[in-house]
């Protein structure tokens, strides 16, 4: 008898991606095998996001398609988890009664148990308001054998007017320092060479443990010192919590990558105050300047929101000025999306016409891509270290790799290289969103096993 199979579809941020790795680990520990084809799956998990308004449309559109599949294959089990499930638990059940299990962000560990119970009892919903244990103890099936997410913190104590994360992820809780380092040591022993530290407000890590100041800089140094770890990344920091000691740790720890993702959101102080961001544009740019002085060849990326309620022409013009001054390597730009339960969603009278927002979005895109292209062109002729990710998605004859600055490089090579290989690539051309190059030399073979086994993440 062939084993049952599962498929997971993930919507949203890196936290959701890592939660999906945990769900995969739990399902594989229960004897299921992964499949890329939903139609072949016995269990389909939709791990949802609720940050953007179209997340609802994506979920219910997918569930509508799966309804017909489930009708043809009654034994198929459907699971809806993640932030949207946490927020809209009753609505999911009402709009999609064919879903077998609805679970929230704090009870991923219950997924397999709920699937077994649902098979006997019928559709189940289980939502808890706070995690009983830190999710790091769950089994994990990682997507990339040489690179791993490491959650150091869950929840968020900020009150940004546009953000629903505190409602669905709960209060800020930091994972014990030694436990994080132990997990990274275990990952390095399995051949992982790159880790990304994850948190909703990652650079405030440890504030709840010490009751004094954050421990994030010390954690960067400790993780960067783990033997075998060649690259350390982190996301996402909050500008108001970017401290001098964190910048110093980035500059002085060889493994920490020269990349800072620092969400600006808006360049107008009036808009930033309405968003409750806790900093001004001047303070933000000062932090950027400090980081660039300390970390040579720093790549700077950001998040930006267009059309926040009440944003005037002058406010938006100020955003364009700050974005141009910052000179980003890339940016994630979003149209404001009102999420029920947030302060900004109640400001209906101040919502901007769609045509105005679209025009501003295009103007912002031009400014961002202008600075990105200029920064990429400055790299032409340089030799960059990349980690090979595999063939390019658009051209299988070309390999893709990523630099320490998190820049995607498409490059030619005489022979295929195994993902996880370190190589030197000469940059020959630039585009706003990627670089083009040619292989110079292979500098290190992959260290990882062909597949990291399902096991509890780390030592704790």
Write down the H helix ranges in 214-266.
216-224, 244-252
> For residues 410 and 271, what is the distance between their CA atoms, to the nearest angstrom?
38
Reply yes or no on whether the pLDDT at 189 is more than 90. yes
Q: Give me the phi and psi of 440, to 5 degrees please.
A: -100, -50
All structural domains of the chain: 5-126 (3.40.50.12160), 144-257 (3.30.750.210), 291-378 (3.30.750.200), 383-444 (2.40.50.140)
Q: pLDDT band for position 434 (50/70/90)?
A: very high
> For residues 345 and 334, what is the distance between their CA atoms, to the nearest angstrom?
15
Which region among 79-88, 305-314, 393-402 has the lowest average model confidence (pLDDT)? Answer: 79-88
More confident residue, 8 or 452: 8
Q: pLDDT band for position 3 (50/70/90)?
A: confident
Residues 6+ apart with CB under 8 A from 283: 239
> Tell me, what's the pLDDT at 380?
98
Residues 6+ apart with CB under 8 A from 235: 14, 196, 197, 198, 202, 261
pLDDT digits (tens, 9 = 90+) for 111-170: 888 899 988 898 888 877 655 555 555 555 666 789 988 989 888 888 899 887 776 667
Are the C-beta atoms of residues 102 and 111 closer than 8 Å to each other?
A: no
Write down the H helix ranges in 129-215.
165-169, 177-189, 207-210
Are the C-beta atoms of residues 342 and 309 closer than 8 Å to each other?
A: no
Q: Give me the phi and psi of 200, to 5 degrees please.
A: -65, -30
Q: Where are the beta strands (DSSP E) in 230-284?
A: 231-235, 259-261
> For residues 78 and 95, what is the distance between their CA atoms, to the nearest angstrom?
14
Reply yes or no on whether the pLDDT at 56 is more than 80. no
Reply yes or no on whether the pLDDT at 226 is more than 60. yes
Reply yes or no on whether the pLDDT at 55 is more than 80. no
Direct distance between the N- and C-terminal alpha carbons of the chain, in angstroms, rounded to an integer = 35
Report pTM: 0.79
> Tell me, what's the pLDDT at 339?
78
Reply yes or no on whether the pLDDT at 2 is more than 60. yes
Q: For all residues of the chain together, what is the average pLDDT?
A: 88
- Average pLDDT, stretch 241-253? 96
pLDDT digits (tens, 9 = 90+) for 276-327: 999 999 999 999 999 999 999 999 999 999 999 999 999 999 999 999 999 9
> For residues 286 and 280, what is the distance between their CA atoms, to the nearest angstrom?
10
> Tell me, what's the pLDDT at 19?
79
- Average pLDDT, stretch 414-430? 95
Cα–Cα nearest to 267, from 291, 239, 245 = 239
For the chain, the residue count is 460
Residue with tokens 């440890």: 206
């Amino acid at each position: 008898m062939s084993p049952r199979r599962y498929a997971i579809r993930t919507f949203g941020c890196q936290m959701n991606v890592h939660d999906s790795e945990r769900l995969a680990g739990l399902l594989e520990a229960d004897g299921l095998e992964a499949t890329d084809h939903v139609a072949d799956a016995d269990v389909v998990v939709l791990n949802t996001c609720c940050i953007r308004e179209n997340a609802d449309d994506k979920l219910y559109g997918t569930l509508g398609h799966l309804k017909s599949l489930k009708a043809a294959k009654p034994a198929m089990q459907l699971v809806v988890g993640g932030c949207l499930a946490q927020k809209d638990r009753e609505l999911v059940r009402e709009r999609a009664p064919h879903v077998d299990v609805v679970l929230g962000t704090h009870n991923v560990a219950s997924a397999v148990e709920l699937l077994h119970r649902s098979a006997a009892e019928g559709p189940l919903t289980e939502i808890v308001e706070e995690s009983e244990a830190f999710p790091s103890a769950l089994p994990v099936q990682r997507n990339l054998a040489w690179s791993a997410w490491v959650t150091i913190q869950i929840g968020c104590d900020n009150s940004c007017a546009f953000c629903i994360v505190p409602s669905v992820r709960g209060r800020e809780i930091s994972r014990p320092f030694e436990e994080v380092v132990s997990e990274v040591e275990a990952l390095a022993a399995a051949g992982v060479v790159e880790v990304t530290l994850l948190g909703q407000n990652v650079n405030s890590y440890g504030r709840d443990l010490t009751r004094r100041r954050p421990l994030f800089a010390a954690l960067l140094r400790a993780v960067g010192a783990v033997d075998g770890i060649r690259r350390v990344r982190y996301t996402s920091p909050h500008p108001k919590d970017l401290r001098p000691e964190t910048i110093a740790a980035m500059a002085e720890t060889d493994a920490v990558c020269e990349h800072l993702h620092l969400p600006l959101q808006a360049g107008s102080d009036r808009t930033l105050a309405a968003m409750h961001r806790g900093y001004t544009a001047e303070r933000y740019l000062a932090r950027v300047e400090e980081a660039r002085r300390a970390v040579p060849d720093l790549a700077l990326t950001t998040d930006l929101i267009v059309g926040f309620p009440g944003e005037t022409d002058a406010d938006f013009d100020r955003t364009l000025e700050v974005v141009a001054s910052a000179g980003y390597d890339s940016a994630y730009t979003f149209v404001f999306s009102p999420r029920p339960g947030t302060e900004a969603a109640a400001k209906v009278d101040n919502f901007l016409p769609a045509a105005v927002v679209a025009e501003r979005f295009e103007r912002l895109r031009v400014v961002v891509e202008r600075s990105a292209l200029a920064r990429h062109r400055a790299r032409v002729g340089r030799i960059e270290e990349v980690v090979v990710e595999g063939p390019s998605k658009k051209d299988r004859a070309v390999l893709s790799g990523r630099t320490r600055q998190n820049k995607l490089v498409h490059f030619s090579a005489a022979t295929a290289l195994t993902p996880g290989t370190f190589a030197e690539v000469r940059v020959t051309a630039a585009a706003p969103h990627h670089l083009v190059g040619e292989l110079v030399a292979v500098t290190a073979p992959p260290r990882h096993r062909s597949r990291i086994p399902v096991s509890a993440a780390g030592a704790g």
